[in-house]
Structure 1
Amino acid sequence: MTEILRYAAFSDDPKGGNPAGVVLDATGLSDERMLAIAAEVGYSETAFITGRDEGGLRVRYFSPLAEVPFCGHATVATAVALGPGDHVFRTNAGEVPVSVDDAGRATLTSVDPAVDDLDEAGRAALLAALRWDAADLDESLPVKVAYAGARHPVLAASSRRRLAALDYDFEALKTLMESRGWTTIQLVFRAGEDTFDVRDPFPVGGVYEDPATGAAAAAFGGYLRALGIVGGDAVLHLRQGDDLGRPSRITVTLVPGEAGVRVSGQAVPIAG
């Protein structure tokens, strides 16, 4: 029988953060079985360790609807479940080193990030699906598509109220995201010089909203650095999940000379 662990990532409270399923031994499980387990668990992602060798751990991630190339919160959960030390996860997006300290705080280093423009048709369709208009945008943080293992459009809200009033067209956004290969939509509000409130619709995973999104956090760190919005040695604090009643806290660290983006947070077991 397959043992399924449950962790809340990016929180020190099991009632906060983003729940993730973790299967430490998925050797021999078919793709269909892993997808079925993810659907049964019902969290936005479940991580499966499908192999181990001297090169690291082969890790795959499934939402209730589909496999995703990389998932930050399930990476943090899996690393904490493995215990303190250094780990290398071999994901569909590439190798992701993860370290865990004795306090149960994990730090992953993403694959190399990238930032792309979004064409006018895509921008218009995205705003329409979100039920936003141009006046809702903070143009100091331009609309782009950011990548650090998965692709996430970044849109900045002009006010915290706009961010709080999330009411999007689920089917329209899901269809658009599937056609563009996007994993979540990174909606942000700049609350301070190094602090951002964020929300992430995730309809392609069968989830209205993700309470904490480490992959999007890494992509957003790369976006901020590439556009010169923050320095190359910035430490950023992302607050997510508050609007869902599951507060999550994500630290993003940019290290000079290091291409990847570091994403850190705690994870705790969920009882039962």
Structure 2
Amino acid sequence: MSNKITINIINAFTDAGEGGNPAGVVYPADEFSNEVKQKIAAKVGLSETAFISKSQSAEFKLDFFTPNKQIAHCGHATIATFSYLSQQGIVKGPKSSKETIDGNRDIYLKGEVAYMQQLAPKYFPLPHKSISEQDVLDSLRLQKTDLLASHKPMPVNTGNSFMMIPVKDEATLKSINPDLNAIHQISEALDLIGYYPFTLETQVRGRDAATRMFAPYYSIPEEAATGMAAGPLACYLFDQLNIKKETMILEQGRLMPTPSPSEILVELKLENGKISSLLAGGRAKVTRSIEIELD
């Protein structure tokens, strides 16, 4: 095994060709153990790095690593991966699939947009496992008056769990100064990837929500686009806020201290008026490649 490894850096969920959330993509990665993959991800230093290997049950096997641990799924790294595979001519059809440590998921390619499948939503109203609404508000240094009227924070799971926090306006969302240590502790207690505060006020007209994402439990202070959180949010908007739209457009990254605008598309699949599954997707752009050397 060579000590020098090439990693493609691909920005997923780009907004009009700009911004997006960078992910590392390593292909092929069959020769690397999980221990080596973790070392590579730590050296890359991005929120997630995807490793593509052969699969016995899907078209590709994907393993996702943050700088400090493996996770079951990653939205932006999935979109980055399949956009890259499509652009390289490795994936040729409109449909593909990924094997992960949490089962298989279908991938769809529609023009420039790659979509990943997520599951029907599960909701966990607070208090849950001794975590209260006030605990969540305190970890964001918010008051109840900062929330969207008549709506509360709630963990939602469509494959991974995220805390949805509806705030009343863009100014409130922008002003959030998170207590990352408290969010880390609550995320660990509730098995969350992170927090996904949002507002219905958007900078781009016609979009459905603007968001931010904090995941200190996975060494991610804040990231620009989170496809696995966008699915739960679309479900929350549909079921909890009664926004009965089957296609939603979310913006993220615009309110970060260093903005990196992102656009995430979500298509809900309904059966008898209830969400049975969903697709979350976006566009991706290869920005560069880097080479690292393992010790």
Q: Same fold (TM over 0.5)?
A: yes
Superposition TM-score, scaled by structure 1 size: 0.91
1:13 to partner: Cα distance? 6.6
Partner of 1:239: 251
Instruction: Give, in whole Å, the separation in 2 of the partners of 1:268 and 1:234.
Output: 26
Instruction: Give, in whole Å, the separation in 1 of the partners of 2:78 and 2:217.
Output: 19
Instruction: Give, in whole Å, the separation in 2 of the partners of 1:140 and 1:51.
Output: 48
For residues 189-200 of structure 1, the aligned pairs below 5 Å read 189-191=199-201, 195-200=208-213
Task: Give the letter for the 2:235 counterpart.
Answer: G
Instruction: Give, in whole Å, the separation in 1 of the partners of 2:26 and 2:34.
Output: 13
Task: Give the letter for the 1:29 counterpart.
Answer: F
Partner of 1:215: 228
Q: 1:101 and 2:110 equivalent?
A: yes
Structure 2: unaligned runs, 5 residues or longer:
87-91, 290-295
1:142 to partner: Cα distance? 2.8
Max Rg structure: 2
Q: Which stretch of structure 1 is more off in the superposition, 262-271 or 141-150?
A: 141-150
Superposition TM-score, scaled by structure 2 size: 0.85
Partner of 1:157: 167
Between the aligned residues of both structures, percent identity stands at 27
Instruction: Give, in whole Å, the separation in 2 of the partners of 1:215 and 1:249.
Output: 13
For residues 36-115 of structure 1, the aligned pairs below 5 Å read 36-53=39-56, 55-83=58-86, 84-85=92-93, 86-102=95-111, 104-115=112-123
Provide closer, same or farther for how the CA distance between residues 34 and 213 of structure 1 changes in structure 2, counting only shifts above 3 A.
same
Preserved contact between residue 221 and residue 261 of structure 1 (Cα < 8 Å): no
Partner SS, residue 207 of structure 1: coil
Provide closer, same or farther for how the CA distance between residues 14 and 35 of structure 1 changes in structure 2, counting only shifts above 3 A.
farther
CA offsets 1:134-187 (integer angstroms, 9 cap, x no match): 111113443211111110010011121110012111222112211221102010
Task: Give the letter for the 2:108 counterpart.
Answer: S
Structure 1: unaligned runs, 5 residues or longer:
none
Instruction: Give the RMSD, CA atoms, in angstroms.
Output: 2.0
CA offsets 1:196-254 (integer angstroms, 9 cap, x no match): 010001111212101000000011122233336122x5211101001231000011111
Preserved contact between residue 199 and residue 210 of structure 1 (Cα < 8 Å): yes
Q: Which stretch of structure 1 is more off in the superposition, 244-253 or 4-13?
A: 4-13
Q: 1:255 and 2:269 equivalent?
A: yes
